[in-house]
Structure formats: C-alpha cells, structure tokens
A and B are shown apart, each in its own frame.
Chain A
Amino acid sequence: MTDHGRRDLISSWLDGRLSAEESARLEQDLLHSRAARDEFRAWADLDSLLVQQAEAGQNNSNNAELEAQVAMPGVRRPWWIAAAAGSAAAVIAMVLVVWAVRPPVDRPLATVTGTQFLLPAEPAAALAAGQSLDTGRLSILSGAVEMTLRNGVTIILQGPGELELIDEMKAFLHTGNAVVRVPKGMSGFRLDTATTDVLDLGTEFAVKAESGFITEVQVYDGAVIATGKDMQSGGRFPKRLEAGQAARFSPQSVAGSEPIPYSESRFIRRLPAEPGIELDHWRERDEELRRFGNPQRDAITVARAAGFVVVDAKLGEWSHAGGFTGSLDGDPADAEWVDGRMMYDDECLYIAAHVGDPAPMRNTSDPSLDPVMAWQGGSLQVRISTDRVMGWPVDANGPSYYRMRKLEPNDEERLKATNPRLSHLTMWHHAPSGKAAIAINHGMGFDGYLVNPEGVRGAFARDPDGRGYVLEYAIPWRLLNAAEDPPRAGDVLGVVWQVHWSDTAGQIWRDQMVEIRNPHELRRILPFERAATWGRAEFQ
C-alpha cells in the first residue's frame, strides 16, 4: 500500500467515512505492518490534539470569564488544560473552586418577577410581582413563581415545591421542580438538592427533587455538571449533561445516575406576563377556595353496570348510572363544570366524567416520568376505599396530616395509614402521545405507584366545541386490592372526587373542584391527607 493510500484510509477511518471494504483493507495493513500501526497512531494522536486545541479555542472565546474564575493563582494554564475545561474532568474541578460574581449588595438578593396561579404554602407568605426576596426558604403549594436574582439568574419554581435561596450563585431545591436560566456569559450558578449538586456552565436547566432522594436533571441549553451524592460513602461522581440530555440521580442506583428521556414540555421555562395584582381580600378568598374547594355533595350512587361497558368516551351505557353535576363557582354559566358518574360490576370500577374545560386535554405530564405530579396539568382524581370492614367514614390519615399539624401518630394510626384498600386514582390525557393515562397508589402514604397498569381501559374525547372533554375508565378491582372481595350492593364506602384544571399549556395547576365530601369534617383539611373527609359511595 502506498503511503498516500494508507494515509487516506487512516484519516477516513478517524472521520467515520470508511466503507466496510476499505476498513477491511486497512485492518489487513495494520495487522501485518508495524509502520502502518505507527502511522495510524500518529494520525489518531493528531486528531486528538487538534480536538483539544479546538476546544481550548472555543472555551477561551466563549468562557473567558469562567476561565478567569477557574484559573488558579500562580499556575500557568497551558492550552490543553483550557481544552480540558470543556471536558468532563476539568469541569468537575470547577465544583471545587469557590467563586462568585459579587454584585453590589444594596439591592435585594432576588425579586419576584412573575407568578401564575400561585398558591403559597402559608397564606401569610403570599408572593406578588415586585416583591423582594432575601436568603431563606420559599414554599408554594401550587402554581409557579419566577424570581430574578440580582445577578440576572432567573429561577422558576413550580409548586408544590420548596426552594431555599442561599446567595446569588447558589440555591437549594428541597422539593418540586425548578428551571434555572443563567444570563449569557455567566457560569457557575449552583442548584443543589438533598442528593445532587448541579453546577451550571452557562445554560438553562431544570431540576426535579422528588421524595425518596431522587433528583432528575434536564438541560435545555448549554451544559451542567451534576454530581450525585452517594449516601453510603459520602462520595460523589460528577456527570456532564449537555443540551437535550436528562438523567436521574438516585443514591440507591449502582451507577449513581441513569439517562432518562428528554422531554421539552416537562418543565415550565417561561411565565406569561404578570396579569396584575388583585386586591388582597379577594385573593385570600380565592386561595382558600382553590385549596379546599366548595363541595356541595356528600354522596354518589354507584350503579351496577347493566352489561359490558365499552370504554370509548361515549357514555351510552351510563344513562342509568348515578352521579352528580356541579360547576366551579356554583354558577351554571361557569366554563368549568363536571358531570361525574360511577358504576361497578364484579370485575371493575367504572368512572366517567364530562368536564367543562376551556383548555381541554392538554396535560403534558409524561406517565413514565411524572405520574406523581400529573394532576397539575388537568386531570380527574378519585380517592376510594374498598374496605367494607372500615366502612364510612374512613379512618386513616396520611403522614403529612400529622406533620403539618406537628402531631406524632401512634402505632395504630401508622398502621391504618398503610391500608392497601385505600386507593388514589389520577386520570389524565397525555397530550403529546394522545393517550389516556392513569396512576394508582395505595394507602394514605401513597405507596407504590402503578402507572398505566395492564387491565385498565381508558378513553378521552374532546367536545366538538373544544370547551370540554369526556373521559371513561374501567379499572379492575384487583388493581385496587379488592379482587377477592369487591364492593357489592348495599356497601357504603368512602370516595372523593377532585377535578383539576390547568393553564392553557397543560403544565400549571389552576383550580379544582372537590366533590363528594364528608360535611361533618372541618373544611380546611385536604382530602389526600385525611380519608375521613371522603364522602359516601353508595353501591346499588
């Protein structure tokens, strides 16, 4: 083989441009000729050095400020170290270097620059655009708040969530979803969770902090270094994530992290312009209504299905079924209303609803990624007891009921909270796939999420005028841990309905209707916390 021919083959191999036949020729040459292997190595080295040089030039021009911050005093940084600054290892080193852009301190640490459908965790801690924020915790129950730090970093926190502002270069996400956007030319902002540190390298990224110490990171623009924390050894290993990548970090994971699907619409990246600030007393009233609803009914009749139920979002089989109708504010002219029905047979529980919704079936929550928070994007939640022995009212409280009231449950109360015959069903239309979705969990501690389990049938249909939708589900009793002893005629069990409406993007929770609630229970108790608030399901 001529030198020229050899060079062409080697270079083409490095560029991934070689055919199978050419590759075989090169391989034979390499096998039999030491000179060929030397030549091959020289070209591979050149390729490697040129890539490092190119990266160094890129980093030097794009990240001059960052470079200055990372550089260690008295140490000359040759170009290949600068090149490494764009690669995994060197960026890791930035984690070790403490730096911050120190702006003048006469401005507040952050300012609220937008809110949407916001419900703060504490009514006294209401947030409005223009409000100053200092270091400390910010907790919201639902909706979203955008805050802009004095260095220009923007954070959007989506509820329920809790974020702690530490300084202009660092925040801690205790729970919930947050999207961080860093101004052009700036790097080094850090958003930590209990199990993961996320270092920005000039970017826009999202972090989700879940219960169970799971953190998910998704990068929209630029890159981040996410460092999972190993709970056992206290050690950490950093992972670089680029735009279009997402990963889940779990202390239980052997690898520390695993890639998960990137989902463009998963997080809230922008809030619409602030619509204005309402008068306080109206806002307070609305917040209470949004939080606890205004239930009008305490019971629903659950009729026995007359025959096989075709799940097609056409409610022909439902004419004899019991149910209820109502609207968000009790006004028949409301755009938000619901006509809810329930039926059963020996195999399944059937649920149907016709929902008035100006933005129907837009929920973007991916069942594989976000079943826990899927209710926020527009959904129906039904919580039901199949425990005939317990009867009605249902006696069980969730952990948050005790925690929020600073109570300590006794052993019996803890045991009741784990009752597997108390089920929570979240049903939604996943807009990106156009499919019906369901998440089921049990007990008042929401144990073990079943997502789209086999056997569930579900269907959605949009109203012809685009102002509502019909949903229909058949849920086998076995999925509610009641296959051996399903509800039968004469049973009175616990049930509550929550119909959720979202923003037009199907991401931010806007409002809800709570129906079929026990009127003897105090009003300011959330249905998911205390099963005694559930109304009666009267099986015919």
Chain B
Amino acid sequence: MGNADAPNAADSRPRPDDGPDDRHEAFVRLLMEHEGRVRGFLRGLLPSWNDVDEVIQQASIVAWRKFPEFDRQTNFGGWLLVIARYEALKHRRRLARSPLVFSEEVWELLANEAEPAHAAEAIDRRRTALEHCLDKLGAEQRRLLLETHTPGVRLNEIARRAGRSEQAFYKVVQRLRAAVLDCMRGQLVPESAP
C-alpha cells in the first residue's frame, strides 16, 4: 500500500462534477481505506470499543455531510482524524463521570501525541510487525490471543471453556500481549532509527 497521506494519492476523491453515486463511491472507498487507522487513534482516547464504534459512526456521518467541501489536494485520513478527534471530545464529555475517562488535560496530551503516530505509513509498519510477531507465537497461543480480541467474546467465557479461573487466564493473556508488544518493538526499531 502506498502513502495514502500524500496529496492526489487517491484518484477517488470528489470532483465538482461528481454525481451523488460517484461521490458516494469515492467517499466509501476513502473511508474504507482510512477507517482502521482512525479506529486505532480513537482506541487510545476512549475507554471501550463501544465508545470507539459510536464515535466512528458519528464522525463518518459528519465527514459524509462535509464531503462536498473536502479539498482533494489535502489528505482524507488526516481530515477524518480531525473530525474524529472532535467527535471523540464531544463523546468524552458525555462520559465524563466514568472513572475510566481521563481529565481533559491528559486527554489532550494523548490526542496531540497520538496524531502524528497514526500516519498511514507508521500504521502499515506496525501491522507488518504484528503479523511477524504473531507468527512467532505457537498456534494455540496465537488462537487464544486473537480469540480474546474478537468483538463480542467475553474473557470469562474463554477462561471457563479453557477450565481456568478468569484471573489466571487474564494473566496468561497479559503475558502474551506483552511478549507480542516487545517483539514488535524489536521489529520496529531499525526502521524508526535515524
């Protein structure tokens, strides 16, 4: 995949003479291309995947409404990220009483530092690193780790099926995550070094 952040990288950006169907198609293609990246960005700001889903849905609606104004010389991913960040902030205010919601000060710090880290190329590198590191796990460990990250699956149910206590099972999952993360860091160092 090329650098989707570069201007004119996508030939599906809207043009003044685009009809509704053309515009719709262009929008869907761009959204499809960049949604994963925006979801990742939001995950570092919002306490649950349900919150991320709500914000991404709202951000997509806003983006679609504003799409006729979108400048084809700019990058869609960055534009969507800005919209998503604003929608996340609004969502965060609604969640403010939750103990898992950080103060606005911390939230701003996380958001500011996360934006550059979610450039398309950086995400691609991390994806490749994850694939490599998952391959290094045993088949059963890989299956278990992915199963715990499958939407709608509850950790306590997997633990019960595995015949283990939830607490003990959670520790296993934690160790696997840490191992994969350490492995990914090892993979990414050479590329990110000056």
Contacts and interface: CB of A to CB of B under 8 A. Distances in A.
A and B held together in a complex: yes
Contacts of A238: 28
A18 to B, nearest CB: 6
B35 A88 contact: yes
**Chain B interface helix/strand/loop/mixed:** helix
A58 interface: yes
A52 B52 CA distance: 13
29 contacts: A7-B174, A8-B174, A11-B174, A15-B170, A16-B47, A17-B170, A19-B99, A27-B102, A37-B110, A41-B117, A48-B43, A50-B145, A52-B39, A53-B149, A81-B32, A83-B36, A84-B32, A84-B35, A84-B36, A88-B35, A88-B53, A88-B56, A89-B32, A92-B28, A95-B28, A96-B25, A235-B23, A237-B64, A255-B61
A89 B61 contact: no
A55 interface: yes
B35 A89 contact: yes
Interface stretch (B3-11, B83-91, B126-134): B126-134
A44 B174 CA distance: 13
A90 B35 contact: yes
Interface residues of A, number: 60
B99 A20 contact: yes
Nearest to A85: B32
Interface in A339-364: none
B47 A49 contact: no
Interface in A55-113: 55, 57-58, 78-81, 83-84, 87-90, 92-93, 95-96
B193 interface: no
A52 B36 contact: yes
Interface string B92-121: 000000011011011001100110010000
A235 B60 CA distance: 14
Interface of A: 7-8, 11, 13-20, 23-24, 27, 30-31, 34, 37-38, 40-55, 57-58, 78-81, 83-84, 87-90, 92-93, 95-96, 233-239, 255-256
Nearest to B143: A57
B186 interface: no
A55 B150 CA distance: 6
Contacts of A24: 99
A44 B99 contact: no
Interface string B47-70: 111000100110011001000000
B36 A16 contact: no
Given A235-B64, A237-B60, A27 B28 contact: no
Given A80-B127, A235-B20, A18 B99 contact: yes
Given A49-B130, A55-B150, A89 B28 contact: yes
Given A27-B102, A90-B32, A54 B150 contact: yes
B184 interface: yes
Contacts of A23: 99-100
Given A48-B39, A237-B60, A37 B174 contact: no
B151 interface: yes
Given A20-B99, A49-B126, A93-B29, A31 B106 contact: yes
A41 B110 contact: yes
Contact of A7 (B19, B44, B117, B178): B178
Given A7-B178, A53-B130, A93-B29, A30 B40 contact: no
Interface of B: 1, 19-20, 23-25, 28-29, 31-32, 35-36, 39-40, 43-44, 47-49, 53, 56-57, 60-61, 64, 99-100, 102-103, 105-106, 109-110, 113-114, 117, 126-127, 130-131, 134, 145-147, 149-151, 155, 170, 174, 177-178, 180-181, 184-185
Question: Which 6 interchain pairs have the tightest Cβ spacing?
Answer: A44-B44, A20-B99, A48-B40, A234-B20, A89-B35, A50-B149
B28 A47 contact: no
A455 B105 CA distance: 53
A27 B103 contact: yes
Contacts of A51: 49, 149-151
Given A37-B113, A47-B43, A95-B28, A89 B126 contact: no
B119 to A, nearest CB: 12
A132 B43 CA distance: 52
A223 to B, nearest CB: 11
Nearest to A83: B36
Contacts of B155: 15
Nearest to B110: A37
A146 to B, nearest CB: 31
Contacts of A55: 150-151
Nearest to B64: A237
Nearest to A46: B181
A88 B59 CA distance: 12
A296 B25 CA distance: 61
Given A46-B181, A53-B130, A234-B20, A41 B174 contact: no
Given A23-B100, A48-B43, A89 B106 contact: no
A235 B24 contact: yes
